[in-house]
Amino acid sequence: MIRAPAKMPMKRVGECDLCGDCCRTLSITASLSNALKQHRSLDEIKLYYSHRNIRVAGTNPEKDYLFIEIDLPCGQLDEKGHCKIHSERDKLPFLCQNYPTAPDDIENCGYQFIPDIIPKLSSSSQ
């Protein structure tokens, strides 16, 4: 994956090869402040969630985000790990139709994000 400067626009290239790697883990963005109210500290959140097989993947205190992940394969995966309904757009959830919309941590995803740089035509070359 190419890392571009923070505000540089990115565009998606490539295609889904149906590897199913994005379909085995459920990622949820929760409210960090709510979780801290319940558990008192991030360490306590991690401890409690670890007993429920939930990972704390990170936080963004500025946006009040708590990122959690659960190993929970989608019920629509077939025995080969491919989505059974991928070609049935009326059944495929919105998220799945559009994923990924931004760089994610899935190493072997068939999509990549590259800087969206439109070359400017130079008037001096006329």
- Chain contacts with ligand SF4 (rule: CB under 6 A): 16-23, 74, 76-77, 83, 85-86, 92-93, 96, 99, 106, 109-111
Taking the complex as a whole, the smallest distance from the CB of residue 49 to ligand SF4 amounts, in Å, to 22
Instruction: Cite the beta strand spans of 1-126 per DSSP E.
Output: 10-14, 25-31, 54-60, 65-71, 111-115
**Residue 16 or 30 with smaller CB distance to ligand SF4:** 16
**Residue 8 or 18 with smaller CB distance to ligand SF4:** 18
Nearby residues of 71 by Cβ (< 8 Å), 6 or more positions away: 24, 25, 53
DSSP lists the bridge partners of residue 115 as 10
Taking the complex as a whole, the smallest distance from the CB of residue 15 to ligand SF4 amounts, in Å, to 8
